[in-house]
């Protein structure tokens, strides 16, 4: 009996020893795994920091100076920085600081209020460190996310989490951001982190940290500081905007001119503005759009982004349901009105006073977006037409190229202003002007009667 007890004791002791050893091995394995993950995060942060910048903005509100802080990152080795429009808006002076405490004065290359993207430029002889960019269309909900920024002047603050959602839009309080396709993350985005990168586990940028949405907990119970969700602009969208801003200082987007809402069948058109591309192309109130250039559309955001990326002046095939019947419409895409992009009209310009037109110089990027332009074209682009423009000027579309006035070729705004001024001086009672223009309707002459 004693022999059996000893035998069972030895078995039990052996089992305990083996169990203890197995547990020790498991603990060691878990620790190695956690250490590997930890090292991955640390390495990503260390590699990324040289390309991440702190941004210090001096602006003004009335006569009082105002200071803002934000973040950004270098995405081209020549010193081009991506950040948010709201970080640098109305800036009088912008200073940029790198990890090594070197300071630079930054120039605003261009901003886009509709996506909240801005591009800055800093200069030095040697190339800058850059962050690699991911393909944000491949971002998965649940994957790791790492946010790095400059909150509260605490340089290079790192927060981690996951991607909580994709395709987020219609955030209250941000009505100026018309193209909302945010990546949602629980990696905390603090005040001052705006414009910094949201990275994946490979250290690639998947988005630009843009804003935090706090819980609305009522008037008497303010939301706690750490409540809410962070949102980032997908890097694919930000890069597209950034490249256009670098190329031409602005973004040219397609435009239909309709309001809409989603239904089970597609996207129902609400009021259609007169003389908009949609109206001129045959779209009418209560039409239900279900296909755009061969691509099925179910969400308003999908359609909005497809139209925005379309070439101005190009015809798009839109399939609609009208009173239960399917119809295909060919719609010439227009350009987003400049007042939607935060542009201001120079009401003191001669062209605005005489013609009721706001114009700008022809830029390199125009040849890529306006299908009716060629590299040989010269002139000025019409950006806005006054509602009560003289004569047939109201028929000149946005994006049209003014080539000549009364037979005199135009190659710049200064030439146009000089020609108009001279015509006004020569003919005190200036009654009409003949404009040679080029648009999606082709080349034509328009006689503008200045007197009734």
Q: Return the active site residues.
A: 86, 116, 194
Task: Quote the CA–CA distance of 212 and 221 in Å, as a whole number.
Answer: 19
Reduce the DSSP state of residue 124 to 3 states and report it. coil
Tokens of 194: 């705006």
Radius of gyration of the chain (CA): 29
Cβ–Cβ < 8 Å for 450, 390: yes
C-alpha 195/C-alpha 202 separation (Å) is: 20
In whole angstroms, give the CA distance from residue 399 to residue 389: 16
Question: CA-to-CA distance for 7 and 5, rounded, in angstroms?
Answer: 5
Per DSSP, the three-state class of 381 is strand
Q: Specify the length of the chain in residues.
A: 452
For the chain, helix (H) and strand (E) counts, in that order, are 8, 27
Segments of 16-134 assigned E as strands:
52-61, 64-76, 80-83, 93-97, 103-105, 107-112, 117-121
User: 391-424 b/e with 16+ CB inside 10 Å = b?
Assistant: bebeebbbbbbbbbbeeeebeebebbbebbeebb
Residue 4, classed as helix, strand or coil, is: helix
Whose tokens are 């935060």? That residue is: 342
**Token pair belonging to 255:** 């435009």
Q: Where are the beta strands (DSSP E) in 141-281?
A: 144-149, 157-168, 182-185, 197-199, 205-213, 229-234, 254-255, 258-262, 267-272
């Amino acid at each position: 009996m004693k022999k059996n007890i000893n035998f069972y004791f030895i078995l039990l002791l052996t089992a305990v020893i083996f169990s203890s050893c197995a547990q020790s091995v498991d603990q060691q394995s878990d620790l190695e795994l956690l250490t590997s993950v930890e090292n991955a995060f640390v390495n990503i942060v260390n590699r990324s920091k040289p390309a991440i910048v702190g941004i210090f903005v001096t602006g003004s509100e009335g006569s009082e100076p105002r200071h803002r802080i934000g973040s950004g990152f270098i995405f081209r080795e020549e010193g081009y920085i991506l950040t948010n429009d709201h970080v640098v808006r109305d800036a009088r002076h912008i200073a940029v600081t790198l990890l090594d405490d070197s300071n630079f004065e930054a120039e605003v290359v261009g901003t886009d209020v509709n996506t909240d993207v801005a591009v800055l430029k800093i200069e030095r002889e040697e190339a800058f460190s850059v962050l690699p960019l991911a393909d944000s269309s491949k971002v998965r909900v649940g994957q790791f996310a790492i946010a790095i920024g400059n909150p509260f002047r605490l340089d290079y603050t790192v927060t981690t989490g996951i991607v909580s959602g994709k395709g987020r839009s219609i955030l209250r309080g941000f009505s100026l951001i018309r193209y909302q396709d945010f990546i949602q993350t629980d990696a905390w985005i603090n005040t001052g982190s705006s414009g910094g990168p949201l990275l994946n586990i490979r250290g690639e940028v998947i988005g630009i940290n843009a804003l935090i949405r706090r819980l609305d907990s009522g008037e008497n119970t303010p939301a706690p500081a750490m409540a809410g969700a962070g949102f980032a602009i997908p890097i694919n969208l930000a890069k597209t905007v950034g490249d256009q801003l670098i190329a031409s200082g602005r973004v040219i987007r397609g435009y239909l001119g309709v309001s809409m809402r989603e239904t089970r069948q597609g996207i129902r058109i609400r009021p259609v503005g007169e003389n908009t591309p949609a109206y001129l192309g045959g779209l009418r109130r209560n039409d239900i759009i279900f296909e755009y250039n061969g691509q099925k559309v179910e969400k308003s955001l999908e359609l909005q982004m497809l139209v925005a990326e379309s070439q101005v002046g190009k015809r798009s095939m839109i399939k609609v349901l009208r009173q239960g019947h399917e119809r295909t419409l060919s719609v010439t895409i227009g350009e987003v009105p400049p007042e939607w992009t935060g542009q201001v009209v120079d009401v003191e310009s001669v062209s605005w006073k005489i013609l009721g037109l706001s114009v700008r110089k022809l830029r390199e990027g125009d040849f890529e977006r306006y299908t009716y332009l060629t590299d040989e074209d010269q002139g000025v682009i019409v950006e806005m037409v006054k509602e009560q423009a003289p004569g047939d000027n109201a028929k000149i579309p946005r994006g049209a190229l003014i080539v000549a006035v009364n037979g005199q070729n135009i190659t710049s705004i200064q030439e146009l202003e000089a020609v108009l001024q001279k015509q006004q001086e020569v003919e005190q009672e200036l009654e009409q002007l003949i404009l040679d223009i080029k648009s999606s309707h082709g080349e034509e002459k328009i006689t503008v009667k200045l007197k009734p």
